[in-house]
């Protein structure tokens, strides 16, 4: 696998120069350029793409999700062919598809359905990677957030795994100490903070919007949700406003935090003796109160790629094959029915029972192409509230006003 260093995100002429330089290098090698978020499951699946084609045909670049999305947005808004294939979350996928930045793959899906057993994907998953009636991405993983906790420490303290948000707060308070934080908390803008807030908005609040896309996150229940988030931050590690998945994973692995919300894809890392000091000490349940994020993510082909779309589709399909996903199940929940229904998974990977429970109680982000842009607004004001820069009600009211202005300008209201 060819993995380049993380690309620093810059604006304007600097970004254009950077993209021109990187694109020239990729084209000179006549290789398919794949960009993706860096996490264990995606390291595995991008490696499957590398192995699907002859050596040197695929270049993979892995980076934090916010940097990947910014790089992709800059590239595609300029209609550059510097990216061929990219990983997208469920929310970012809708925005990219709505902007016309992705290549529809319905014809290839039909052509290769038998060869790659594509009917093995449930319709709900196909719907999740479709927009306006067309399929745009190859499903690669179903991801859900779990509640990670130190079973050894809670057992020693006589504390049951929390089932409600009140239980969670009581346990975090009890376990918080100068040596070890009571809970992890991932509030780095935008993706990590939005994930954390999504859980509180569903477990305590009434969600994000009403049926007409009017914000309701600033109502009484929403204020209570973010007030609780602010209260919980007292038991979080220092620097939590700059923490995303990597930082929170490390805090759990190194025994620096006792519990908290984290993605299914990070579960295997807890038992990796080369990285973790807490092997066999972490356990999992569905997030207290329910409502944590569930996502169906995948890889899509850029509408501006000059590569062979059929070759790229087959590369993605090989990575998403039944055999590949059977092995990849240790890193992420596979969206194929034949793999999900394998009873051996729960025996082999001890976090699967909690994941199935989390899927039942979880909730996806609102199904709007502009939710990432809404997230930039909302997380900025939530952080103002959590850090004490503004009162919670004031911050959420301001976020709601800016959100409504944004959506009005994009035609959401009559």
Give all domains of the chain, ordered by start, each with its CATH number. Answer: 12-143+296-361 (3.40.190.10), 145-293+364-409 (3.40.190.10)
CA 11 to chain centre: 24
**Per-position DSSP letters for 308-372, written without gaps between them:** -HHHHHHHHHHHTSHHHHHHHTTTSB---HHHHT-THHHHHSTTHHHHHHHHHH-BPPPS-TTHH
Q: Is the peptide bond before 269 cis (omega within 30 degrees of 0)?
A: no
Reading phi first (left if > 0) and then psi (alpha if -120 to 50, else beta), residue 186 is in beta
- Nearest Cα to 377, choosing from 409, 353, 352? 409
Q: Whole-model pTM? A: 0.76
pLDDT of the residue at 328: 93
Average pLDDT over the chain, rounded to an integer: 91
Between CA 34 and CA 6 the distance in angstroms is 13
Higher pLDDT, 73 or 24: 73
Pick the range with the lowest mean pLDDT from 126-135, 313-322, 372-381: 126-135
Q: Which residues pair with 137 in a beta bridge?
A: 300
Higher pLDDT, 367 or 411: 411
């Amino acid at each position: 696998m060819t993995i380049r260093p993380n690309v620093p995100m810059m604006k304007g002429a600097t970004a254009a120069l950077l993209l021109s330089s990187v694109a020239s290098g990729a084209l000179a090698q006549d290789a398919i350029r794949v960009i993706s978020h860096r996490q264990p499951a995606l390291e595995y699946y991008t490696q499957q793409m590398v192995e699907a084609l002859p050596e040197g045909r695929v270049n993979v670049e892995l980076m934090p999700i916010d940097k990947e999305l910014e790089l992709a947005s800059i590239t595609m808004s300029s209609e550059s062919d510097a990216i061929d294939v990219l990983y997208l979350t469920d929310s970012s996928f809708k925005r990219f598809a709505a902007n016309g930045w992705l290549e529809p793959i319905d014809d290839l899906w039909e052509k290769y359905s038998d060869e790659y057993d594509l009917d093995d994907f449930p319709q709900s998953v196909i719907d999740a990677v479709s927009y306006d009636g067309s399929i745009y991405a190859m499903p690669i993983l179903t991801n859900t957030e779990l509640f990670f906790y130190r079973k050894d420490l809670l057992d020693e303290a006589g504390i049951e795994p929390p089932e409600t948000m009140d239980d969670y707060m009581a346990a975090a308070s009890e376990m918080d100490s100068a040596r070890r934080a009571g809970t992890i908390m991932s509030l780095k803008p935008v993706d990590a903070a939005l994930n954390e807030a999504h859980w509180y908005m569903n477990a305590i609040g009434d969600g994000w919007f009403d049926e007409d896309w009017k914000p309701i996150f600033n109502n009484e229940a929403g204020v209570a949700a973010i007030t609780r988030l602010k209260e919980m931050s007292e038991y979080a590690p220092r620097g939590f406003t700059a923490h995303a998945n990597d930082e929170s994973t490390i805090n759990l692995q190194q025994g620096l935090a006792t519990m908290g919300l984290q993605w299914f894809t990070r579960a295997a890392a807890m038992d990796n003796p080369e990285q973790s000091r807490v092997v066999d000490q972490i356990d999992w349940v569905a997030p207290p109160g329910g409502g944590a994020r569930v996502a169906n993510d995948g890889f899509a082909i850029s509408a501006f790629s000059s590569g062979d779309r059929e070759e790229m589709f087959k590369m993605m399909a090989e990575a998403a094959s039944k055999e590949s996903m059977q092995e990849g199940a240790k890193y992420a929940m596979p969206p194929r029915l034949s793999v999900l229904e394998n009873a051996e998974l729960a025996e082999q990977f001890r976090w699967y029972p909690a994941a199935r429970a989390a899927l039942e109680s979880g909730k996806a982000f609102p199904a709007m192409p502009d939710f990432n842009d809404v997230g930039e607004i909302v997380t900025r004001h939530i952080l103002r509230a959590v850090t004490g820069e503004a009162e919670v009600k004031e911050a959420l009211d301001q976020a709601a006003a800016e959100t409504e202005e944004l959506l009005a300008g994009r035609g959401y209201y009559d």
